[in-house]
Structure 1
Amino acid sequence: MTCPSLIVYVDDSDESDARVELACDLAVSFDSLLIGLSASLPQPPMLDPVAGMGDVLTLYRQMAEAEVERAGERFRAIAGARSVRSEWRAGLSSPGDLLAGEARAADLVVIGQKAAGVPFRSPDPSDLILSAGRPVLLVPPVRARSPVGEPALVAWKDTRESRRAVAAALPLLRRASRVDVVEVAATTDMAAAEARVRDVCEFLGRHQIEAAAVPLDDKGEPITVRILAEAARCKAGLVVAGGYGHGRMREWMLGGVTRSLLTHSDVCVLMAH
């Protein structure tokens, strides 16, 4: 079970360097091609009655080109030092649009969990989960553990998105030191939740992945609180979850698991929509 190609979003920052190092770890583990990508969209300039508009546009374009070039230098230095097979792709365009399109070349997309400079310098994680058509690995700014070789937690909900996320995560789950399948449910639904997570464990077992079924009582707490507490308890390096099962607008207006994991997880999260 392999992951032949990865694509990682790169920018000119130390946080990006750590993300590229993680992507190199994955590429080494899976013997994958690692594609680095960066984009910068020249920002619409503020109107300046003194400076000529053409000069201002040229300046913004040059700044964007320089940012992309610095990102490429950082990527090539890290990938070269790790001796991974790599490619570099870049453009002066919307980072989210470019990355979603180039994701056709990869099995997994690796991005920062909390992107800075959206939409001109970095892709929006929420948009990318919905548009990439590939599983997205969201890397927090600071992570204590690796998503490879550490315990993994499947945050199950009986939705299409969860099924896709689990299927996409099979290569990573096979390399986990332990896999727990968790569903947070009300006390009255615990029996049904246990049956569902056992089904998922049996599915994983047919892919040579041993997993434990862990139905969790919600205890009246938000689902994400229970998931992240369980991830901390088992020292997970990876959480696998479906993305936007209720639709993005509802999640952002009323709150939801996807939104909370995007903003509060200190563990790498693999999502699929």
Structure 2
Amino acid sequence: MSYKTLLVHIDDSRRCDARVALALDLAQRWDAHLIGLYVVCEDFAKPLFGNDDGFVAQLAALSADRRETAQQAFLAAAERAGRTAEWRTPDGSPVDVTTLHARHADLLVLGQPDPHDPATYVDRHFVGEVVLGAGRPALVIPHAGAVPTLGENVLIAWDGSREASRAIADAMPLLQRARFVSVDVVGPTHDRESGPSAIDVAAWLEAHGVRASFSTTPRLGVAGTGATLLNRVSDLHADLLVMGAYGHSRARERVWGGVTRTMLESMTVPVLMAH
């Protein structure tokens, strides 16, 4: 099993170059076709100026310049890496078009929004909406910190759910190349039922050539599962977290699972999510 088509989200943010470099490295690992999908927020300034035709024209020209700059940077990076790559700039709702194009890829590479860089804003809950709607695994890269390695030391968050099982299956190409894989169950200190489940996951992985350790981590005090997992990532020096993504719609508003929300806001290493 391998990834044959990768899709990386391109924007005008400071972190985009690092995201593209990582996507090119992954494409090199699996000799995969890489698609650069340029999707940005086009409407953030329009409400400030209403229907001023002059401003709208200036905004369109500025957007075209930024798009051209991003395209040249992406294709140049691909050429330096010795990879062929495809550039796409679809029109339409950012979430809708990204979700549609994502469904034709084996793995998505997305960036965590950075509250200190407005260029990372595409749409409200953009990353989470794409992860939940695309039906494809997404590798989400933190907005801060270097990513010197990816997939050498992997932590799997296991809770017995459909989403977690899907995430493990979707991460298998990465897991099969990892040096260390740990399966961890986070739960209350009185929960004694999670251990055998983690053992079963380790046996499943071993059938695919992945040798994994397993453990249970108590959720102590007021710390949530997400915060506990982040502590485990730090303790194990993991460079990738694999987990299911959770969320549902209620009254036209997306309601996120607590762990999913924590990771989207506070991830410290790349996170492979699947729903």
Equivalent residues, number? 269
Name the counterpart of 1:18. 18
Residues 79 and 121 (structure 1 numbering): CA distance in 2 closer, same or farther, change over 3 Å? farther
How far the C-alpha of 1:144 sits from its partner, in A, is 4.3
TM-score (norm 2): 0.88
TM-superposition CA deviations, 1:198-231 (whole Å, max 9, x none): 1111111111111111111112231112211111
| Residue pair 1:41, 1:64 contacting (<8 A) in 2 also | no
Give distance in 1, aligned partners of 2:151 and 2:244: 22
Tell me which amino acid in the other structure corresponds to 2:10.
Answer: V
Worse-superposed segment, 117-126 or 68-77: 117-126
| Residue pair 1:152, 1:239 contacting (<8 A) in 2 also | yes
Superposition pairs of residues 59-138 of structure 1, within 5 angstroms: 59-114=58-113, 116-117=118-119, 120=122, 124-138=126-140
Structure 1 stretches of 5 or more lacking a match?
none
Tell me which amino acid in the other structure corresponds to 1:243.
Answer: A
| Residue pair 2:140, 2:270 contacting (<8 A) in 1 also | yes
| Residue pair 1:110, 1:136 contacting (<8 A) in 2 also | yes
Name the counterpart of 1:212. 213
Name the counterpart of 2:274. 272
How far the C-alpha of 1:64 sits from its partner, in A, is 2.2
Name the counterpart of 1:200. 201
Name the counterpart of 2:143. 141
Tell me which amino acid in the other structure corresponds to 1:28.
Answer: Q
Worse-superposed segment, 159-168 or 218-227: 218-227
| Residue pair 1:165, 1:241 contacting (<8 A) in 2 also | yes
RMSD of aligned Cα (Å): 2.6
Residues 14 and 218 (structure 1 numbering): CA distance in 2 closer, same or farther, change over 3 Å? same
Identity %: 35
Give distance in 1, aligned partners of 2:113 and 2:249: 17
Residues 209 and 143 (structure 1 numbering): CA distance in 2 closer, same or farther, change over 3 Å? farther
Secondary structure at 2:88's aligned position in 1?
Answer: strand
Worse-superposed segment, 69-78 or 96-105: 96-105
TM-superposition CA deviations, 1:225-255 (whole Å, max 9, x none): 22111111111110011101x5366998787
Residues 48 and 199 (structure 1 numbering): CA distance in 2 closer, same or farther, change over 3 Å? closer
Give distance in 2, aligned partners of 1:118 and 1:12: 7
Residues 98 and 119 (structure 1 numbering): CA distance in 2 closer, same or farther, change over 3 Å? farther
Worse-superposed segment, 102-111 or 117-126: 117-126
Name the counterpart of 2:162. 160
Secondary structure at 1:66's aligned position in 2?
Answer: helix
Superposition pairs of residues 6-45 of structure 1, within 5 angstroms: 6-43=6-43, 45=46
